[in-house]
Amino acid sequence: MSVKLIAVDMDGTFLDDRKNYNRARFAGQYQQMKAQGIRFVVASGNQYYQLRSFFPGIDHEISFVSDNGGWVVSENQDVFNGALTKQQYDTVIDHLLTLPHVDIITCGKRSGYTLQSYSEGFKRMAGMYYHRLELVDDFAHPDDVIFKFALNLPDDLLADTMDSLTAILEGIVVPVSSGHGSIDLIIPGVHKANGLRILQDKWGIKDGEVVTFGDGGNDIEMLCQAGFGFAMANAPDKIKQIARFQAGYNNEEGVLDVIDKVLKGEAPFNE
C-alpha cells in the first residue's frame, strides 16, 4: 500500500534541539512528496501562527493540526476547531488558579493569553511558542474561541498534577504531556489523531497509508492510529513501546531519513 500522508510532530521530532531542521534537504523531499501525491501535515501542540513560520513559501500548501488538534488548517483554509463553552472555561480556569507553581496560557484562535504578572523568563519562553500572545491582567474569558490550556510547572510536580487534573476536570478537558514541565489540557477526543482523521476523511486516505512521527504523550493517539507510527530514538521508553516503528534521533535528522525511505519505497514501505 502506498503512503499518501506524512504527519510530523515538531519539538523533539522534526526539529532538532536548537529548534531548526535541514531546510535544504527537506525542500528537495517536499518536491518529491508533491510529485508522488503525498500530503505533508504538521501535527503539534504549538500555536498555528508559530508552526507556519517554520515553512515559509509552502505554508499555504500544507496542512496544520495545531494546538494538539484544537485547530486544523489546510492550505490556508479553516477545516476544524474545538471550542470550550464559557462555563467550561470558567470551571477550568478557576481550578487552575488555585494551583501554586503553575503558569497558564489560554489558547485561542485569535491569540494566546497569559498574565502580565508572570515572570519575565516565562513570558519570554511563551513568546517562542506563541507568535500571537497577549499579556492580560486576569483570565476573564476573552473575546475568542478557546480550545486549549497550556501549563508550565516544575518537572517533579508533573505526574501528580496530571493525575489530579484528570480526576478533577474529567469530562471537560484531558491533560496530556507535551514535553518537559509542560501539560496541555485538551477537549476530550480533540487530539492530533482526530485532526488527522478529519484530513484523511477529506482526502479519502486510509490509516494504512499514513506515516506519523512523535516523541511525547500527546503523540500516542496518532502513532497508534497510523499504519506506520514512528517513535523517535530520543522518545521515552513508554512512547517507543506503543509505536510500531522507530526513527533516529531528532538531532540526527531521523524524520528526514525515514522520509527518504518512503520516497524510495524502501522497507517497511514496500510491503
Spatial distance between the Cα atoms of 11 and 177, rounded to a whole number of angstroms: 13
Eight-state DSSP code of residue 135: E
CB 176 within 8 A of CB 165: no
Residue 77, beta-bridge partner list: 74
Residue 78, beta-bridge partner list: 73
Give the three cell numbers for residue 79: 477545516
Give the three cell numbers for residue 100: 501554586
Residue 7, beta-bridge partner list: 41, 212
CB 196 within 8 A of CB 212: yes
Catalytic residue among 9, 67, 103, 215: 9
| Residue corresponding to grid cell 480556569 | 93
Residue 115, beta-bridge partner list: 136
Tell me if residue 17 is catalytic.
no
Active site residues: 9
